[in-house]
Amino acid sequence: MIKPGIPKGTRDFGPVVVRKRNYIFQTIRETFEVFGFQPLETPAMENLSTLTGKYGEEGDKLIFKILDNGEIFERAQQAKDSRELASLISEKALRYDLTIPFARYVVMNQHELALPFKRYQMQPVWRGDRPAKGRYREFYQCDADVVGSNSLLNEVELLLIYDTVFTKLGMQGYELRINNRKILAALAELVGKPELLTDITISIDKLDKIGMDGVKGELRDRGLSEADITIIENFLGIQGDNKSVLEQLRQLFAASETGKKGIEELDFVLHSGYTSFNTTPILDLTLARGLNYYTGLIVEVKAPASVKMGSIGGGGRYDDLTGLFGLPGISGVGISFGVDRIYDVLEELKLFPQTAQQSTRVLFLNLGEASARAAFGYMMQLRAQGIPAELFHESAKMDKQMKYADKRAIPFVIILGESELQEGLVSVKNLTTGKQEKIPADALVNYTF
């Protein structure tokens, strides 16, 4: 008999964890819904051709491919290496993110969809990354995107969604950091090397991890001169509140159309006059974000500084999401929540409310058939009011039943002994306080559990 286990990088979620995770999902879902976003669910399996080539060479290697059922032996004979073998015997793969399936869905349903299409999606994805602390091979993504609208109101709305969700979750001290890819493009122009935009972006993106000296070294390696690097260093050193930073950018990019457009967009998002934020977004010129399909606003959510966690969400505007599938010219903007990390932050800051941890509230002790039958009736009354209640499954020793209540963390126990039955009473024991009281049986439905 092999000791049972689960694959590396995957997790079982027991009752306590599922409930807390559902509290996070539910908070996000409710917010998406009041903002007018619509749910979408796509299959776990996509055609391999839908996924291949969309996540870079490294990404392709991490896609989990599904073996074709049936006869694969003959086909496999033609392969000359691992890669070819995989392509001969596998035509489906597991979802790697939610963005590509979303793009595929939009293209397939373009004639039915009302644009702008505001969709949210909360489903697991699978990646063959090396498992590590906080890095799993199966994890949920939780995305909201708007496609088919260039309006900056969408950017404002998406930032408000972050603002609303993290306020609801009670997470004080988190930061909403924003920047704009057009500003970075203008920087590359300023340096005189617009073709190195991606190299500059990738280098700046590592600032958190490798520091300014590291970034400078990286820029040097990627072919930028000392003069270029000084310009970039000065740019990254711009300090001040949002208004002041915008003002400095205006001077720096006075001659750049791209720069001015980026500044205008940031100014609108920050000072639209449409709304105010509980937590004002911070303009952070060092924010770059790795993915190179962003073209406008970029955003990242940082956990409160007291927990060392880094980014708990991010997103931005991208052009041409669906061009990959033959439908060009559809712009999009989206955000994502990092649910696993949000979970860890809430746990560390003890922010999960009591209600997110509640399971059965009331255990009726089973003290023999007459008592149990009466208890069953009362139990069904409580359940009808939405109060999770159980009757112990058998007439066991009191001790055993109390241990069950304890292990399950059930806060109330109800006792219907012979005397209670005769008097039409029930004894309610609060296991948290230890207090026990007898009340009329028909008052049970109004008791506060």
Please, which residue, 199 or 264, has the CB nearer to its own copies? Answer: 264
Subset of 294-333 contacting its own copies (CB under 8 A): 325-326
Q: What is the largest CA-CA distance in the chain?
A: 94
Residues 6+ apart with CB under 8 A from 123: 41, 42, 44, 95, 98, 140, 141
Of positions 172, 275, 419, 436, contacts its own copies by CB under 8 A: 275
Could you give the 3-state DSSP secondary structure of residue 364? strand
Residue 241 annotated as part of some ligand binding site: no
Segment near its own copies (CB under 8 A); pick from 10-18, 209-217, 252-260, 288-296: 10-18
Min dist CB 89 to its own copies, Å, is: 8
d(CA 181, CA 201): 9
Subset of 365-394 contacting its own copies (CB under 8 A): 372-373, 376-377, 380, 383, 386-391, 393-394
Of positions 11, 135, 243, 271, contacts its own copies by CB under 8 A: 11
Min dist CB 6 to its own copies, Å, is: 6
Q: CB–CB of 90/48 below 8 Å?
A: yes
* Residue at token pair 């009757």: 391
Subset of 153-212 contacting its own copies (CB under 8 A): 153-154, 160
Please, which residue, 186 or 391, has the CB nearer to its own copies? Answer: 391
For 278-353, list the strands marked E by DSSP.
282-283, 294-302, 311-318, 332-337
Residue 383 annotated as part of some ligand binding site: no
**Cα 436 versus chain centre, distance:** 43
Please, which residue, 47 or 225, has the CB nearer to its own copies? Answer: 47
Residues 6+ apart with CB under 8 A from 84: 78
Of positions 24, 40, 178, 288, contacts its own copies by CB under 8 A: 40
Question: How many angstroms separate the Cα of 337 from the Cα of each of 25, 219, 319?
Answer: 10, 31, 21
Residue 228 annotated as part of some ligand binding site: no
Q: Burial-class residue 431 by CB neighbours within 10 Å (0-12, 13-18, 19+).
A: middle
Tokens of 145: 């995107």
Q: How many residues does the chain have?
A: 449
Please, which residue, 50 or 201, has the CB nearer to its own copies? Answer: 50
Residue 399 annotated as part of some ligand binding site: no
Please, which residue, 85 or 238, has the CB nearer to its own copies? Answer: 85
Tokens of 344: 């860890």
Q: CB–CB of 222/198 below 8 Å?
A: no
Total site size for its own copies, rule CB under 8 A = 100
What x-and-dash track marks residues 104-143 binding its own copies by CB under 8 A?
xx-xxx----x-x-xx----x-x-x--------xx-----
d(CA 13, CA 94): 20
Subset of 328-367 contacting its own copies (CB under 8 A): 359-360
Residue 442 annotated as part of some ligand binding site: no
Of positions 57, 81, 195, 213, contacts its own copies by CB under 8 A: 81
Subset of 139-158 contacting its own copies (CB under 8 A): 146, 149, 151, 153-154
Residue 97 annotated as part of some ligand binding site: yes
Pairing of the two strands 332-337 and 138-147: antiparallel
Question: How many angstroms separate the Cα of 430 from the Cα of each of 16, 399, 411?
Answer: 21, 16, 6
Please, which residue, 236 or 402, has the CB nearer to its own copies? Answer: 402
Residue 99 annotated as part of some ligand binding site: yes
Min dist CB 388 to its own copies, Å, is: 5
Subset of 230-259 contacting its own copies (CB under 8 A): none
Please, which residue, 64 or 294, has the CB nearer to its own copies? Answer: 64
Please, which residue, 113 or 351, has the CB nearer to its own copies? Answer: 113
| Measured torsion, CA atoms of residues 82, 84, 85, 87, in degrees rounded to the nearest 10 | 120
Please, which residue, 80 or 209, has the CB nearer to its own copies? Answer: 80
Min dist CB 108 to its own copies, Å, is: 6
Q: Counting contacts by CB under 8 A, is residue 45 touching its own copies?
A: yes
Please, which residue, 90 or 242, has the CB nearer to its own copies? Answer: 90
Of positions 25, 44, 280, 427, contacts its own copies by CB under 8 A: 44
Closest CA to 404 of 353, 362, 376: 362
d(CA 95, CA 134): 20
Tokens of 134: 């906080």
Closest CA to 381 of 443, 425, 319, 304: 443
Of positions 62, 231, 236, 351, contacts its own copies by CB under 8 A: 62
Task: Give binding residues as ranges.
Answer: 97-99, 127, 141, 145, 289, 293-294
